[in-house]
A and B are shown apart, each in its own frame.
Chain A
Amino acid sequence: MATIKSSFINLLLTLAIVTLIAGLSLGYVYQWTKEPIAQAQMAKQLKAIESVVEGYDNNPVNEKYKVATPDGKDSLEFFPARKGEELIGVAIKTKSTRGYSGDIWVMVGFDQAGQIKNIVVIEHKETPGLGSKMTTPAFVNQFLNKHPEKLKLKVKKDGGDIDAISGATISSRAYVEAVQSAFDTFKSSVNHATAN
């Protein structure tokens, strides 16, 4: 086994050298993987955006900007979709912290009039077979091509127009809350734009 004396200086020195070598090698690997990691992250965001807005030819991720929610507690990322010079829609990354098992992150695609084009769940920890059903067409179709001014974004139990997932009211509520938050922020950003 070890053949070097275990004096205190040697211990500290050895550990320091090992850590230094590890650190330097890792720095090298990090530089090497930095680009692919950034690309993988951008690809993931683009994939979510692609599923909620279509027909654009810009890179919405490169043009993203943040808008504060009307209650001022948070800010959401807006990904504008353009065809040529024209703004044809926006994908908004929103979330609710009131999911059954934690945060639910959702990407909502609106056209410029504010109509919901599509909704995609980016991240959730809801119960498989129950809350996880919020990704199924059966649930999502209720929202598509509807305008939140006409479609009351609350579950029927709370007086709204949305059929909650049976056995997963909390997940459904959180999902709907996230979509509502996206629309409210969208509306306020449009108001600010037209007010200027």
Chain B
Amino acid sequence: MEYLIIIISTIFINNIVLAKFLGICPFLGVSKNTSTAVGMGGAVVFVMTLSTIMTYLVQHYILIPLGIEYMQTVTYILVIAFLVQVVEIILKKVSPDLYQALGVYLPLITTNCTILGVAILVIQNNFNLMESVVFAIGNSIGFTLAIALFSSIREQLDNADLPEYMQGVPAALITASILSMAFMGFAGLV
């Protein structure tokens, strides 16, 4: 039951993009094409879950026992960078099409604030390993939901008749704000 609450709150109530403001760069950058957006979302689910597990283990079995919690930022980012490299290599071999489609966005996942953000949040929230995994899966699904919704709106937006200074990023941001308002309606769900 606890897990269900975590899932609902991470996907809808505290949506990582629309409420927590993490992952804005890929949100505005990738979301021009829905299928790429979903592909990126899938990659994020995979990387986020794995990196959360690994950083959790680093925190609890290396940093805390040695009393070097201040090394959290450095070690976490190394783990994430390393993991993304591994994912890239595997993806190239297993699914070259997806690898091509994601293009430059895959290494960009390293600097994606969502991955590092979630890794730090599970420690701040004092989750155990299982709760952390559920939290990571929930957040990455929430991310995918946000960019998938957004990209399908943006595909329409590109055809709209907007004044020149509104085209592109400004319209995207205002759309995002409306989407964010819509998601605010989920508050109080649990």
Contacts and interface: CB of A to CB of B under 8 A. Distances in A.
Contacts of A27: 68, 70
B188 A170 contact: yes
Contacts of B74: 19, 22-23, 26
Interface string B55-92: 00000000000001011001000100000000000000
Interface residues on B, range: under 10
Contacts of B188: 100, 170
B187 interface: yes
Contacts of A23: 68, 71, 74
A59 interface: no
Nearest to B19: A101
A26 B187 contact: no
A27 B67 CA distance: 10
A139 interface: no
A19 B188 CA distance: 44
A22 B68 CA distance: 13
A30 interface: yes
Contacts of B14: 101-102
Interface in A1-59: 19, 22-23, 26-27, 29-30
Contacts of A29: 70
10 smallest beta-carbon distances between A and B, as pairs: A30-B70, A26-B70, A170-B188, A100-B188, A22-B74, A23-B71, A100-B187, A26-B71, A101-B187, A19-B74
Interface of B: 14, 68, 70-71, 74, 78, 187-188
19 contacts: A19-B74, A19-B78, A22-B74, A23-B68, A23-B71, A23-B74, A26-B70, A26-B71, A26-B74, A27-B68, A27-B70, A29-B70, A30-B70, A100-B187, A100-B188, A101-B14, A101-B187, A102-B14, A170-B188
